Amino acid sequence: MCGITGYIGTRDAWPILIEGLKRLEYRGYDSAGVALVKKGAISVYKAKGKVADLENSAADKDLSGTAGIAHTRWATHGEPNTVNAHPHLSPSGRLAIVHNGIIENYSTIKSRLQEEGYVFRSTTDTEVLVYLIEYLMQKQGKNLLEAVQSALREVIGAYAIALADRDDPDMLIAARKSSPLVIGIGDGEFYVASDVSPIAGYTDRVVYPEDEEIAVLRRGVPLKIVNLMNEECSHEVRPVPENIGLTGKEGFPHFMLKEIYEQPDCIVDCMRGRVDTSLGTVRLSAVTENAERLSTAKRFIIVACGTSWHAGLIGKQYLETFCRVPVEVAYASEFRYSNPVIDDSDVVIAISQSGETADTLAAIELAKSRGAFIYGICNVVGSSIARATDTGSYIHVGPEVGVASTKAFTGQVAVLLLLALNLAEVKGTMKPEAYHSTVKALLEIPDKMREVLKSDKGIAELSRTFTYAHNFIYLGRGFSYPVALEGALKLKEISYIHAEGYPAAEMKHGPIALIDTEMPVVFIATKNTMYEKILSNVQEIKARKGRVLAVVTSGDKVISAVADNVLDVPETLECLDPLLVSIPLQLLAYHIAVCKGKDVDRPRNLAKSVTVE
Ligand code: AGP
């Protein structure tokens, strides 16, 4: 997954493209490049590393030009270096292309072109596509649009592309299939981007081309969209969603820390208009509008990836406990190829912060094709998943920039809870006292989160004592088991320390063999129905000289006496523990990574939005 941008109009393209790339850097940041088109020439600028490296490397160059395309990369084919960085040029240098996605049959096409004598410069799948397009122009006398249509009919895979033509500097071409693409319509000008963020601020009119559609962007001429068979396609011009744009760190050293601190306000935003504080009730418009469909569902299937999948594991417990409906939680990447037994009595809940995760999108399409009703839980308004679902609820936590998901996780958990509560009321499956006390306890969560954040300094100090570790184990039970998985994921993705999450009682079935004096074991040991059991699990680790860090409920004496270190969180209902316990685990991962000097916001090999399968 990568980010693409493009501009054609009357302004200088370079600053627009560079700014756009910075806004898309969450999609990948191992190399970046820009191609500027001027009459008779295409100038290409590339650099390994981040967009800032590209900017520095091009500082003394001629950057004039009112049309161009740009790319920030997350390598799939070919190592991250300047040669493999986009844009890629056609053999003659006439065409430049940027691409997000994967051309799966690139090696077959490449061999065919090599037999014709073509020599490739990079090891990317993208270069093959631009070579194929130029080949079709030269050998079959097609114009650029015809050649693009013909090439895209041949390729298998996913693409969002933008193309510039040296010989036609007044036109850009953009197309998509299974990768996101947005066209911004300005005054005699067009913007191209992987999402609306590079476009916001320049125009408030955007078009989202459908799969296998090609946008012809000719300077000063209205937008034209055609399909691969050259039939003209209608398109709806939509407004840019509100609250889109660049957010700053606002005094925090990293976005991740800022986003951890935003969580109390995020939960308030998440509940706004949905929780009636005076009545102590919950209303989600998606539930109100689809009450019959949702309440008669025979089964729910949650599909998601990574952190969103962890939130799904908690959502399963909410829906099963409160709504008495069976719930399965599937990795979207497995579900999409699993030939699942699913029909129109099922509701599929797709959870995704970005709303662009390719595997989750594919899982939705599969479930849809079998008649399931799709409920989306997304953060990014207007994202592909938000548009692909039948109904849904946004988590409303604002842009999440740090690659390690924090506020989106707690936002997803909160929305899943609201969904389960609302549905339980509709179905009559929850006792009114339990329903109202849960709503009341949820309303207290933001203040309790603020309380937890006060332990930040202490966690920062404690973190210094863990930088020696090469492995960590995170243990929890019940509602806290998915939080243990999430805590381990946070640590590994930003500190590069290997970490595993387990249900605490599973330790004795194998993993306990790993315990020695070097092994930190993080227990989620809050005061709840599992407390005594967790205490025994803590004892088992201590008996083997493991180093125990326990997250306990404030005032806890028993586990605190056994553990080597404790972090406390205020008391709440057991089902709400994940909202509080996540915070010290996020802070622990954050501070360990900072102590180890890692790039917390943009960890190696990762990207914020995973738009390849
Ligand atoms: C979380 O910290 C990750 N970086 C990652 O697991 C993420 O949650 C996953 O890629 C799913 O993304 P989505 O929520 O945008 O679909």
- What is the token pair recorded at 78? 């070919």
Instruction: Give the pLDDT of residue 1.
Output: 66
**Highest mean pLDDT: which range of 237-251, 499-513, 566-580:** 566-580
Instruction: Give the pLDDT of residue 606.
Output: 85
CA distance 397 to 78: 36
CA distance 196 to 355: 13
Mean pLDDT in residue range 136-153: 97
Type of residue numbered 431: K
Mean pLDDT in residue range 291-319: 98
- What is the token pair recorded at 532? 């005594």
Atom 6 of ligand 1, nearest CA residue: 306
| Res 245 pLDDT > 60 | no
- Give residue 216's pLDDT band: very low, low, confident or very high (50, 70, 90): very high
> What is the tens place of the pLDDT at every residue in 101-110?
889 899 999 9
Q: Which atom of ligand 1 is nearest to the CA of 408?
A: 14
How far is the centre of ligand 1, averaged over its atoms, from the C-alpha of 213 (Å)?
A: 28
Catalytic residues: 2, 608
Q: Which atom of ligand 1 is nearest to the CA of 609?
A: 15
H-helix or E-strand containing 143? none
Instruction: Give the pLDDT of residue 243.
Output: 61
Mean pLDDT in residue range 374-395: 92
β partners of residue 36: 43, 68
Instruction: Give the pLDDT of residue 215.
Output: 98
> What is the tens place of the pLDDT at every residue in 508-561?
898 889 999 989 999 999 999 999 999 999 999 999 999 999 999 999 999 999
> What is the tens place of the pLDDT at every residue in 95-135?
999 999 889 899 999 999 999 999 999 999 999 999 999 99
How far is the centre of ligand 1, averaged over its atoms, from the C-alpha of 460 (Å)?
A: 25
Please name which of 219, 184, 222 lies closest in space to residue 203, comparing C-alpha atoms. Answer: 184
Q: Which residues form ligand 1's pocket by a CB distance below 6 Å?
A: 305-308, 352-354, 357, 360, 403-405, 493, 609-610
Mean pLDDT in residue range 214-230: 97
Q: Which atom of ligand 1 is nearest to the CA of 608?
A: 4
- Give residue 244's pLDDT band: very low, low, confident or very high (50, 70, 90): low
Atom 9 of ligand 1, nearest CA residue: 306
DSSP state, residue 155: -
CA distance 418 to 422: 6
How far is the centre of ligand 1, averaged over its atoms, from the C-alpha of 157 (Å)?
A: 22
β partners of residue 38: 41
Q: Are 535 and 559 in contact (CB under 8 A)?
A: yes
Cβ neighbours of residue 371 closer than 8 Å, sequence gap 6 or more = 342, 343, 344, 346
Q: Are 501 and 476 in contact (CB under 8 A)?
A: yes
Mean pLDDT in residue range 335-345: 94
How far is the centre of ligand 1, averaged over its atoms, from the C-alpha of 8 (Å)?
A: 33
| Res 174 pLDDT > 90 | yes
Cα maximum dimension of the chain: 81
Atom 10 of ligand 1, nearest CA residue: 306
